Chains A and B, each alone.
Chain A
Amino acid sequence: MPNTIHIKAFGMVAERIGATDLELAHCLDSEALLETLRAKFPELTTTKFSLAINKKLISGNQEIPENAEIALLPPFSGG
């Protein structure tokens, strides 16, 4: 499917989104994606998580290639 990104959500983020997998229309970069996600799922604004594009963790804003797989990775504390 063209112009789509595939979201994989983990832990508390999956809980707040209500799914572990999700398809979204393509966003130009990671900041734009976060804005889209927060608008769609307001509960995400109070959860910290890291982002991986095509299984590589990113820091700062990064461009998102078409058909990318984006993982939303919250920290876990339990032991």
Chain B
Amino acid sequence: MNRFERQVILPGFGIDGQAKLRNSSVLVIGAGGLGCPILLYLAAAGVGKIGVADGDKVALSNLNRQVLFGEKELGKNKAETAARYFQEKYSDIKWEVYPEFITTENAQELISGYDLMIDGTDNFPTRYLVNDACVLMGKPLVFGAIYQHEGQVSVFNLGENACNYRDLYPKMPSALEIPNCAETGVIGVLPGIIGNLMALEAIKVLSGLGKPLSNRVLFFNSLTSQTYEVEISPNSEAQEAMPASFASFEIMDYELACEGIKQLTWSDAMKKMNHDVAFVDVREPGEMPPLECTGLLKIPFSSLSTQFGRLADSEEVLFFCQSGIRSQNAARQLQEAFPDKKIYSIKGGINALKTN
């Protein structure tokens, strides 16, 4: 007997199904609310090689749903912590750990080593990036995402005439339209359920069991326990927006494409500072910590629309706020009024400056 006996005796799965899992490799992108349950069940099922990519660190607010982590792991990298957990549990899986976020620079190298990708990330730019990289490499992708009490699951890029994320959502949305769970909250069981559905789809794709959710998307509502299934078909117009090659993928700015506003890190922003650039704090008076430097303009977001005149003479404008959301909004508003200006928002706002 081995640890997979109960699935090997299952009609339709059997020794063949187990051998296929054993010889498969899966890359789980994002070890958060979705990634944790996905990893738990793929490891338990005996997928031969599992890669985990996540540049994020465990935070206290993650623990209601990211069940691989505990109080002792606060501040540690999620990919490394998750792999360590499983290395103590099972001896028969090869683990690859990537303590970094997926980017246009590392995507091709990361993905090339795996049969199947699973997207457990938490933002639109990364979801389009992962989708496009998988399409370019012809690799199947299990997709899942949540919003408050709802989730959606699909399998992209599998087989002939296969759909991908761009067929489902041709227009790239912005985080301002659809916030993620860091902003709107979530009960931990929901990503648990959606992550398990994703793990199940992965096992179906790898072993040949059943019918994967290819060219279909499944919606689940945890408040009503209802599901809703929709058929998707390839949309040639949507595919035209896809980068045609890895050369164009690598120079694509997914954040700019989603948000419509170029985002800068603090270090890039510092390099831009000179007297031609307006540097604007859009936080309301009293938000902490205050930032004081020469030339800094303070225009609270609530009164921005009446103070555009103060920015009329600046060719370039750099906005920041507390977390990077209001500054994007501010940048969009100003861009509408002055389409020719170069306008930027600083990613992560003052919070990002504090952690650096």
Contact = CB atoms under 8 A, between A and B. Distances in A.
Contact of A79 (B122, B169, B171): B122
Contacts of B233: 56-57
Interface stretch (B97-105, B175-183, B271-279, B334-342): B175-183
Interface string A1-32: 00000001011100000001000000000000
A73 interface: yes
A12 B122 contact: no
A76 B146 contact: yes
Contacts of A20: 221, 224
Given A10-B219, A11-B150, A57-B168, A77 B232 contact: no
A50 interface: yes
Nearest to B127: A77
A20 B150 CA distance: 12
B30 A79 contact: yes
Q: Sort chain B's interface into a size bin.
A: 35 or more
A78 B147 contact: yes
A75 interface: yes
Contacts of B145: 75-79
Interface stretch (B14-22, B32-40, B319-327): B32-40
B222 interface: no
B178 A47 contact: yes
Interface string B173-192: 10101111100101000010
Interface in B189-233: 191, 217, 219, 221, 224, 228-233
B55 interface: no
28 contacts: A10-B219, A10-B221, A11-B150, A11-B178, A47-B178, A48-B171, A48-B173, A48-B177, A55-B229, A57-B168, A57-B230, A57-B231, A57-B232, A57-B233, A59-B170, A59-B238, A60-B237, A73-B217, A74-B147, A75-B145, A75-B152, A75-B173, A76-B146, A77-B123, A77-B175, A79-B122, A79-B144, A79-B191
Given A74-B147, A77-B123, 8 more contacts: A10-B228, A11-B148, A75-B152, A76-B150, A76-B151, A78-B122, A78-B180, A79-B32
